[in-house]
Amino acid sequence: METESKKVVSFKSLTDSVGRYNLTDKTFLIPQMNRIGGHLLAATFRGFGIHAKVMETYQGLDLGMEYTSGKECYPCQITTGDILHFMEKEKEKLGGEFNPENYIYFMPEADGPCRFGMYNKYQRIVLDSFPQLDRVKIGALTTKDGYSLDGIIEEERVGDLRKSAYFSVVVADILDRLLWRIRPYEKEPGMTDDFIDRSMKAMEDTFETHGPNKDFDKILDKLEEIVNEGKTIIDPHIPPKPLIGIVGEIYLRTHVQANQNVIRVLERYGAEVVNASIAEWMNYTTYDRLRDARAGFRMNLKQIRPGRLKEHLKEIISFGGELLYEESRQKQVYKRVRSLIDLAEDHKVAHLEDILKEDDLYSFDAGTEACLSISGIVEYAREGYNGVVNVYPFTCMPSTITSAIAKPLMNKLGTPYLDTPYDSSFQPGREAAIRTFMYQAHQHFKRHGRKGH
């Protein structure tokens, strides 16, 4: 790819070409973080008439490396590569018919305090430096308003899209957990991967058809069918294995190429694994907004500012309702699935905050994924998991904080713990570290048994 030399980057484009745009008649490009989640989300959008597409991932890593300085977070390098690679291929395919204005590239953001809020700004600058790509808009949903979808389709359908999209996130979590629950006990190698692949495709069709009417019962019926088929893959003669919990940075712990397939490696050394879910992060962002609104309300009550009080009250009702909806939907799906198979459940975010408060381990006021990771680690240990792995990008701020707090804590609790930071390099000692960790987990399992056994 050729850059336009001497091009002066206009910072105006950070506000003009990064934001929430109407997706009608556009191709909405979704980066692939967790495979199933990305595909179900795209299918849900397609059901609502949006031409959504999951981009291939990791094929453009060289481009990502070339157009970043090395100081950016690893997920930023991967996604930068993904969008550049996609555009390169699209230009080759369409030739003169390529029109950059047909695309909206999806890159959400968080409002700090770490660098996730900067990915789309940085990628804007990179795209602006290529001929034509300055006209590709970046669709940015933000945690500031709990990932509101206002304005991307007709107003009267936004609520339905939001609910169906959330449902797709929960169902994708379940399919992932089903994969990790079945694969260590499969009758023949490869059966689970093949089954999950087919199930994902069947679920895509289901979401495309029933998502727009919010016919969640039909989606749950299909899910039940899938779970029942999955159960037949389990060999009942294989005894339970040590149970390992994963926490960490959301992108790395769910992107299998980026984490060098850490779950499969753990399984190779005898583990059954449960990864933290994506819905947990969605619930956390809503919970955090609700927390902020409550704090604002209390402050303005003290200062007797009625105008601001009303605003915060409105936010409390809106985010409170949203959280209630999300947690009850999630509970409904898990209840149905757990009546068929023993999959790990998610905890309420309020419960996770209480865990941190008990021993004053960390504060939700400081924010970031460390809130979920630290409390998640404690919860895994208390529930009888045989080990915990923290998966994150090298130099990730929240995960480094997590590691600093979790290591001494896990020593005290006597639960094996492993940090696995990743960049794109293959560390020669990584596999040995995982093997040693799994030896400890087996010892823990022999001495204490495991959750549910």
The residues of the shown chain that bind ligand SF4, judged by CB under 6 A, are 73, 75, 114-116, 249, 369, 393, 396-398
Quote the CA–CA distance of 303 and 291 in Å, as a whole number: 19
195 or 392: CB nearest ligand SF4: 392
Question: Least distance to ligand SF4 from the beta carbon of 401, Å?
Answer: 10
Nearest to 354 by CA among 287, 292, 309: 287
Would you list the DSSP string of 267-314?
Answer: HHTT-EEEEPPHHHHHHHHHHHHHHHHHHHHHHHHHTT-HHHHHHHHH
Is-contact 406 378, C-beta < 8 A? no
387 or 398: CB nearest ligand SF4: 398
Question: Least distance to ligand SF4 from the beta carbon of 184, Å?
Answer: 29
34 or 415: CB nearest ligand SF4: 34
Question: What residue type is 410 in one-letter code?
Answer: M
126 or 175: CB nearest ligand SF4: 126
Nearest to 394 by CA among 428, 436, 429, 425: 425
73 or 152: CB nearest ligand SF4: 73
Question: Least distance to ligand SF4 from the beta carbon of 153, Å?
Answer: 28
Residue 107 structure tokens? 């890159």
Residue 361 structure tokens? 């381990």
Quote the CA–CA distance of 33 and 275 in Å, as a whole number: 14
121 or 331: CB nearest ligand SF4: 121
Task: Starting at the earlier edge strand, list the strands of the sheet with 18-19.
Answer: 18-19, 137-139, 103-106, 27-30, 51-54
Question: Least distance to ligand SF4 from the beta carbon of 366, Å?
Answer: 13
60 or 367: CB nearest ligand SF4: 367
73 or 349: CB nearest ligand SF4: 73
Question: Least distance to ligand SF4 from the beta carbon of 403, Å?
Answer: 12
Question: Least distance to ligand SF4 from the beta carbon of 81, Å?
Answer: 15
Would you list the DSSP string of 364-384?
Answer: TTT-STHHHHHHHHHHHHHHT
Q: What are the angstrom distances between the C-alpha of 162 and each of 78, 327, 415, 429? A: 27, 14, 39, 44
H or E element, residue 66: helix 61-66
Q: Which residues sit opposite 194 in a β-bridge? A: none
Question: Least distance to ligand SF4 from the beta carbon of 40, Å?
Answer: 23
Question: Least distance to ligand SF4 from the beta carbon of 160, Å?
Answer: 30
Diameter over CA atoms, the chain: 68
206 or 368: CB nearest ligand SF4: 368
Is-contact 149 162, C-beta < 8 A? yes
Helical segments of 95-190, H only: 119-128, 155-182
186 or 369: CB nearest ligand SF4: 369
H or E element, residue 38: helix 35-47
Question: Least distance to ligand SF4 from the beta carbon of 275, Å?
Answer: 16
39 or 115: CB nearest ligand SF4: 115
Question: Least distance to ligand SF4 from the beta carbon of 364, Å?
Answer: 16
Task: Starting at the earlier edge strand, list the strands of the sheet with 243-248.
Answer: 272-275, 243-248, 387-393, 417-422
Quote the CA–CA distance of 346 and 129 in Å, as a whole number: 43
In angstroms, the first-to-last Cα distance of the chain is 56
Residue 251 structure tokens? 């992108």
Question: What residue type is 28 in one-letter code?
Answer: F
Question: Least distance to ligand SF4 from the beta carbon of 352, Å?
Answer: 17
